[in-house]
Amino acid sequence: MEPLLVVDHVNKAFGGLRVTFDISFTVMPGDLSAIIGPNGAGKTTLFNQITGHLTPDSGRVLFQGEDITAMKPQAIVSRGMGRAFQVTSIFPEETVLENVRVACLSKRNEILNHFRHVSGFREATDRAYTILESLGLESHSERYAFELAHGDQKLLDIGIALGLEPKLLLLDEPTSGMSPEERQLTRELIVRLWKELNLTLIFIEHDMDIVFGIAQMVRVLHLGRLLAEGTPDEIRNNPEVITAYLGEEVR
């Protein structure tokens, strides 16, 4: 089986500040993996390089065997990579339904296709409702996105990404700002989406209960470097990771 994603010796600096340093790893189809590390470790910068929002200074990113290093985000999305952001990228003045429907229409290239607009609109609407049901947001479909609670806005951001029908989904701190109950529900949602939609999924997360509870593989960034990668048990007991990030209490 060929890797779905290959990050190959990726480097990024802003002026004299080295943010990611010679990072390499592969992600296989169907993996559910986490990226952890202290604030400023380079996690979101790495996501930005994978998704085309930043171009690496050197190194490559391959997706489904294709070099996507210099591609724009939209081109990468069209190839099957979706992302939900740490700070939500929803359309606050549109309804919840419209937020997801626009993504569904975009995936089908129907936004400007006047000849198929009616049928495409109906299909996109049905697809959007299905996604909202899977997220537990169907009852909010006609509300404006800005009216949603923070946790529901985070879920809507995931819904927009799902509307693009990704093969690989990247979630940047999906539970940030949530209550303990919301975090538990989101944890269950991530696993369910991964299984039901046959996704490959990578998430950045600071809640170690979630990381060690659901991830198959954990990668640790520290000072811009890939400090370690392995199973949750391997990472939990790695002396370098304990010293740099986890502390003895997590072990």
Distance between CA atoms of 46 and 172, rounded to whole angstroms? 11
Q: Which of 86, 4, 77 is nearest to 45 (CA)?
A: 86
Is the entire prediction scored with pTM above 0.85? yes
Report phi then psi at 236, rounded to 5: -60, -30
Beta sheet of 66-67, edge-to-edge order: 17-27, 5-14, 58-63, 66-67
The per-residue b/e assignment along 210-236, b for 16 or more CB within 10 angstroms, e otherwise, is bbbebbebbbbbbebbbbbbeebeebb
Distance between CA atoms of 91 and 163, rounded to whole angstroms? 14
Beta sheet of 32-36, edge-to-edge order: 81-84, 168-172, 200-204, 32-36, 217-222, 225-230
Q: Which of 46, 48, 57, 44 is nearest to 16 (CA)?
A: 57
pLDDT at 117: 55
pLDDT at 20: 95
Using left for φ > 0, alpha for ψ between -120 and 50, and beta otherwise, residue 62 falls in beta
Using left for φ > 0, alpha for ψ between -120 and 50, and beta otherwise, residue 13 falls in beta
- 26 DSSP β-pair partners: 6
- 170 DSSP β-pair partners: 83, 202
The residues, any chain, with a CB within 8 Å of residue 131's CB and separated by 6 or more, are 100, 104, 159, 162, 163
pLDDT at 199: 94
The one-digit pLDDT tens for each residue of the chain (251 residues) are 899 999 999 999 998 889 999 999 999 999 999 999 999 899 999 999 999 999 999 999 999 999 999 999 999 999 999 998 877 778 999 999 999 999 998 876 644 454 445 456 888 999 999 999 999 999 999 999 999 999 899 999 999 999 999 999 999 999 988 899 999 999 999 999 999 999 999 999 999 999 999 999 999 999 999 999 999 999 999 999 999 887 754 55
